[in-house]
Chain A
Amino acid sequence: MFMLGPIGFTAPWILAALAALPILWLLLRAVPPAPIRRRFPGVALLLGLTDDETQTDRTPWWLLMLRTLAVAALILGFAGPVLNPQERTAGSGPLLILADASWASARDWPRRLERIEVALDEAGRDGRPVAVVTLTDLPAGPPAFQAAGAWAGRLAALAPKPWEPDMEAAAAWAGALEGGFETFWLSDGLAREGREALLAALQARGGVRVFEDPRPVLALRPPVFDGGTITLSAVRSRPGAAAELELVAQGRDPLGVERELARATLAFAEGAREAEVALSLPGELRNRISRFELAGIRSAGAVSLTDDALRRREVALIAARTDREGLELLSPLYYLRKALVPTADVIEGGLADVLPANPDVIVLADVAKIAEPEAEALRAWVEAGGLLLRFAGPQLAASDVSRAEEDPLMPVRLRAGGRTVGGAMSWGEPKRLRPFAEGSPFYGLAVPDDVTVRAQVLAQPDPELAGRVIATLADGTPLVTRKRMGAGQVVLFHVTANAEWSSLPLSGLFVQMLERLAVSSRPPQPSAEELAGTVWSPEKVLDAFGRIEDAGTLPGVPGERLAEARLGPDLPPGLYAGEERRLAVNVARADTVLAPARWPASVPVEGMGAQREMMLAGPLFAAALMMLMLDILASLWLSGRLGLRPAATVALAALALALPAPEAARAQESEADARAIAATREVTLAHVLTGNARVDEVAAAGLRGLSRVLFQRTSVEPAEPMAVDLERDELAFYPLLYWPVTPDQPLPSAAAYARLNQFLRTGGMIVFDTRDADIARFGASSPNGRALQRLAAALDIPPLEPVPADHVLTRTFYLLQDFPGRHASRDVWVEAAPPDAEKVEGMPFRNLNDNVTPVVIGGNDWAAAWAIDPAGNPMFPVGRGFGGERQRELAYRFGVNLVMHVLTGNYKSDQVHVPALLERLGQ
């Protein structure tokens, strides 16, 4: 390749043509512009005048220069210039392009795709078959080697996955391959177990080249919440210079809008691989955080979703009012407060004060009666997902709550009185707890021996009782019962919350039970034993770029797999919901350490630095074309053919410079403006375009005929009628729309209907003409009638009635009782008069509605009766002989009345008052 600085030429011998440019210069110089022939009567005065000088025979130098440059650009373009041409040795044989495509390569994925494209281009030029394989999504069999062009179209669908490749499987896959090929490996730059095995398998087939981004890979570890502060740490794969990263906490604000809740700076010290920052946030804010992310890094590793571990639950404690003061240890809430304050946010107050705060849990300690409005609110709160935790006590035992019928806010019916065991007045021992049954939320908790129950309330044996018991005493009587209600639940401890009836609140079991009921927060990561046997359904999943997506229909994940925590296609990072809690699975775990990949010296490693080749032929051709365009303009201008108005010249130049878009938009706008001005300058009648050319033509001709009659006979002087496209045109300019109905007319769009309804509401009138009164009566008996019903279904049309004899349409200009068109049916419908319209004594008409009727519906084919051709002759015969002409005349009169009605409204209706006015004037 011939090189000229950074530019190479693929066909350098064409450059020899540049030598011909001076000859071209001489040739072009000698040719004068062609003359224009003009007809001009004043030539008689010109005869005998001679030109002073003959210098314009020659083309001006700047025009020559322009042409020469254009030709030079063409020659250069044909010579195939390439900027930054790649000097490379052409390989041979198949090429395997292997990409790690893990979350770590998501950050610079576009550049990787570009690099793959370059490799494909090269292979395409060398005619090598190529296969593109991603390690995170291994093909089942050997790779399909195809022409490079076949892959180019599929590159866009290549996406990284949010997990790491399974190197063992990859090595096994590579080991099974046969035949020789060269490998180009786009590594994500992370050290990984099993990479050497894969490399060896590939090297056995042929050379391996590696491509790696020299920048470090970053990952954000999950937040650690301890003692009121959240600690976040990030790791990077290579120790490098000091760097600062922005850490952003995202979550919903009180309005439910996703926004940034907090921001901190993570600073990597020079040479350090880890950076840490501590965030101290108020509980309200902290509870709402849904994820942390490193700002500006598009990678799943830079995002850490948060789960319940960060949340502190809000618990409302409510006790029955006690009159006794100072007996702290006897307070029903004392032990609850002790158990909950370290792990939850506790609020106390009346039920009415607490409910608006929407706590997670409400604890009612020995509260029997709840006022009806509060109970209603409480029920709604429970059904929306709240947990209502009730404790029994003397008051509950004494009340008749949930006695005969189950109270909605109690899990079971209670027997009157309760029972006491092991007291002074009873025989028997205080009862112990039976170990928790499988299926109970407390299953697995150890029951200490020293927990005894001395008194309790008893549940009525009901059919559902067995299903609702989650803890029992040794003799089988229920101790804790639970009922699901909507999304929430009601739990009743059949003992008191203080140590009066049992020693349960004194034991550690009490705290554990509260934990299990999700009353208090739990340790962040459940152990493998806890997870065993559970199924977790993904709610939100992360893609490799760190974007959160809805999980959709992804299958549930067994708890064992979750405990393993190795991400894969069956366990993408995301938020998983279990029975009572949610668990975040992140790319980076608390113990994640990133190490850079190490390659043997025999493998060439390429950085991101490859410069792209750039073909310059296109821009050169464009420049040449542009210059030739300018040349046309300049030649026209020189020979005086361009016109002399500078504005036109500028416009032409703008056109030539290929900037037509804004011009076109403006032209369109001005076209709409011109139409609006034409429609509003005079009264303009309009008809709706039906799509049937013949019908539209007749409608236009009909309105033209009507306009002419109006012009001749009335003070309404309409302009030429217009056709209206419902989808495009503004309707507000027209007082009247004539709408001929055809059976095959398409339904207008929703937007068009909105405009039509607006038109009707603001005083417009639509005249529907089914044009079939000769064969059908009003109704759905004809195809046109059915089409009309279909069209008008979405319109805002009031009740209708046939035109009454005293309707204002019968006397707006002419006195009419019939409204014939080409057909003479009497079925013409208008808006019904209000039912209370009554004929006043002595008046000729009823005092009718004030409005213009928004629709007139008929089938008399009025347009055909009105239609005239351009010479003013009727287009269609109406009736026969003189009677027919009379009918046409009546049709015109109906048209005049119609337009008068639209334009003057109820003016003629007001004439009913004339007698009264005259009478008054007479006095």
Chain B
Amino acid sequence: MSTAPELRQRAEALAGLLPPLLAHAEHLAAAVLMGAHGRRRAGQGEEFWQYRAARPGDEARAIDWRRSARSDAHFVREKEWQAAQAVHIWVDEAQSMDFASDPELGTKGDRARLLALAAAVLLVRAGERVALAALGTPPRTGELQLLRITEALTQPRDRPDYGAPEVRGMPPHARAVFISDFLGPLEPVAAQLTKAADRGVKGALVQILDPAEEAFPYDGRTIFESMGGELRHETLKAGELRGRYLERLAARKAELADLARATGWQFHCHHTSQSAQAALMWLYAALERRR
């Protein structure tokens, strides 16, 4: 058991980390207009959905007497089904996400965490349940879950050079969001997506890239190293490689898009130089569309 001052100090250090990311994410989420969240079918809920003729087996208290009195048959008042959806979010935490070509832009990882948390804020406000893959817990709703996600996102941990999505305990017909730069090997991504598709899980792939990764503005004799230093490639004339690099990048994007199409997912490529708002809008729409 730690002493009170120590505990307080740690708590303050933790609280010091939380507000900026959460506040920023909430600021971002506030800009998205909330719409109706009905499931477009009868079920448990608050909103009126339709009247239907009473069938045998309906409880007497389910009959809407006011409507029934206007005709000879009995009617039952049905409400729209408003079940909460579970959404799993996976954020790539590999070292490759630490890259920023310009300090002003911020790293890809920052953008990914911001997007993930903003999406989580939106979903929680809409009453959905959210889970973060890194937490490993089942999806939950509420402000507390947001704080847990924030904490998990800001916690430092041991990280590989390139990340691969890993979502455990995904229930059938849930939603999922994968946010990464998808520059590492594609096989784990494909495997995970196939597994998700098998369970009827639909979702969105968000690829976050730095402008430098899109433009390859390098020249001269250069040794390129991955962020962890595991991969390296030496060239004498970096400028000559540009065309071929861009071809490969385009091929990678096409592959991801194909993969998404095949599994019924959505794919979006976002650059850190763009506004996070646009990516969030797309993400929100992508999650809404398949509902």
Contacts and interface: CB of A to CB of B under 8 A. Distances in A.
Nearest to B248: A45
B183 A46 contact: no
Contacts of A54: 236
B225 A40 contact: yes
B236 A640 contact: no
A438 B225 CA distance: 113
Contact of A641 (B216, B220, B226): B220
A33 B45 CA distance: 71
Interface band, chain A: 20 to 34
Given A51-B236, A640-B219, A45 B249 contact: yes
Given A35-B223, A45-B248, 10 more contacts: A32-B221, A39-B99, A40-B212, A42-B224, A43-B224, A45-B249, A49-B233, A51-B241, A54-B236, A641-B220
Interface residues of B, number: 39
A47 to B, nearest CB: 6
A47 B221 contact: no
30 contacts: A32-B221, A33-B220, A35-B223, A36-B221, A36-B222, A37-B222, A38-B224, A39-B225, A39-B227, A40-B224, A41-B97, A41-B183, A41-B210, A41-B227, A42-B213, A43-B224, A44-B162, A44-B185, A44-B231, A45-B248, A45-B249, A46-B248, A47-B231, A51-B236, A51-B240, A54-B236, A56-B221, A57-B236, A640-B222, A644-B217
Contact of B220 (A39, A42, A52, A640): A640
A11 B59 CA distance: 119
Contact of B241 (A32, A44, A49, A56): A49
B99 to A, nearest CB: 5
A76 to B, nearest CB: 33
B101 to A, nearest CB: 9
A639 B220 contact: yes
A637 to B, nearest CB: 9
A364 B160 CA distance: 118
Interface in B203-243: 210, 212-213, 216-227, 231-241
A34 interface: yes
A638 interface: yes
Contacts of B224: 38-40, 42-43, 46
Contacts of B210: 41
Nearest to A641: B220
Contact of A44 (B218, B221, B226, B239): B226
A580 interface: no
B252 interface: yes
A53 interface: yes
Contacts of B226: 39-41, 43-44
Contacts of B217: 644
Given A47-B231, A49-B245, A51-B237, A42 B222 contact: no
Interface string B165-180: 0000000000000000
Q: Which of B210, B233, B235 has its CB near the most chain A CB atoms (within 10 A)? A: B233
A256 to B, nearest CB: 65
Given A35-B234, A57-B236, A644-B217, A43 B225 contact: yes
Nearest to A41: B96
Contacts of A638: 220
A641 to B, nearest CB: 7
Contacts of A32: 221, 236
B221 A49 contact: no
B184 interface: yes
| 5 tightest A-B CB contacts, nearest first | A640-B220, A640-B219, A41-B96, A639-B220, A35-B221
B128 interface: no
Contacts of A35: 220-223, 234
B188 to A, nearest CB: 13
Contact of A38 (B96, B225, B244): B225
B225 A56 contact: no
A43 B232 contact: yes
Interface in B27-46: none
Interface string B16-59: 00000000000000000000000000000000000000000000
Contacts of A57: 236
Contacts of A640: 218-222, 238-239
B78 interface: no
Contacts of A56: 220-221, 236-237
